[in-house]
A and B are shown apart, each in its own frame.
Chain A
């Protein structure tokens, strides 16, 4: 067989491979520049008690998940049972960031679907969301004991994401400080 006949076929197959791979990549999965950086400073009122505030000093020293959510967010409902199960397992606390919501809607939502969060902060303007480089809700950050962001999950967490990515990472981070 002559190369000149095979070459177009090879180029075509190469292009097909490129397209197939390209179509399976999620363009929203842009690496966050905040990975490996300290959690941005924030000081928000708590959702359940607006006289109390929530800032990062309240969970420094432990591995936590920070989950941005809203009552108007449909895919938050999808990940909700998974978060709830994880919170009940007691492996790590989840802190909620209620994003661009109203207090009453948010509280009703938590009452209706149960509350997976250790504490929730209230970010009605989404200003803290911008500091976190948030695209939308839901988004979840894994933060280590020193307050460094180790992982950012965009979109709802599926059972697989929890089992294969977040749980192992949390365990790894917890083990790291024990050995230090």
Chain B
């Protein structure tokens, strides 16, 4: 009884692996076409559920766009042409990897800028901490220190 339960729970956990999107599997006669298709649907964003690629999405629009990509590949259109077709209609946002443009400069270099700022702050913090030099003891304190050390030494000796 327990064993069946355990097995079925394990089987249940593997369910997401089996339930991949790809509602209609496409047939390709040429291996390079199939390769091109796989590359494209992994690089293009589903515009309805925006954090999924076309390959992952179950949205009807994603299925339509997969059909469209398939149709164009069968017509032997090149990758760039297909990407252009979709960018023309849906904008750069359809690309998971945005092109380097004036409007995307911050997107591309923002993280490096933040890293630069963070390391500058970190560096100056470390520097300012290193500068803290312990204060010089005054005469009376030095005297007291010597006394304490002497006491300790004599305690050890005895």
Number of residues on chain B facing chain A (CB within 8 A): 15
Interface size class of A (residues with CB under 8 A): 10 to 19
Taken residue by residue from 17 to 37, chain A's Cβ proximity to chain B (1 for < 8 Å, 0 otherwise) reads as: 000000000011011111000
Given the contacts A27-B50, A30-B47, A132 and B60 also touching, CB distance less than 8 Å = no
Q: List residues of chain B with CB within 8 A of the CB of A80.
A: none
Given the contacts A130-B65, A135-B48, A30 and B60 also touching, CB distance less than 8 Å = no
Say if the beta carbon of A126 comes within 8 Å of chain B. yes
- A to B contact number (C-beta, < 8 Å): 38
Given the contacts A130-B68, A135-B47, A136-B48, A33 and B90 also touching, CB distance less than 8 Å = yes
Could you tell me which residues of chain A, from 119 to 175, have a CB within 8 Å of some CB in chain B?
A: 125-126, 129-136
Q: Nearest CB to that of A27 among chain B residues?
A: B50
Q: Specify which of A27, A125, A136 is in contact with B61 (CB 8 Å cutoff).
A: A136
- Docked-complex contact B47 and A130, CB < 8 angstroms: no
Q: How far is the CB of B139 from chain A (nearest CB, A)?
A: 34
Taken residue by residue from 34 to 58, chain A's Cβ proximity to chain B (1 for < 8 Å, 0 otherwise) reads as: 1000001000000000000000000
Q: 5 closest A-B pairs (Cβ-Cβ)?
A: A133-B89, A33-B91, A30-B93, A133-B90, A135-B47
Binding site for B on A (CB under 8 A): 27-28, 30-34, 40, 100, 125-126, 129-136
* A-B contacts, 26 listed (Cβ < 8 Å): A27-B50, A28-B50, A30-B47, A30-B90, A30-B93, A31-B91, A32-B91, A33-B87, A33-B88, A33-B90, A33-B92, A34-B89, A40-B89, A126-B64, A129-B64, A130-B64, A130-B68, A130-B89, A131-B89, A132-B89, A133-B90, A133-B91, A135-B48, A135-B61, A136-B48, A136-B61
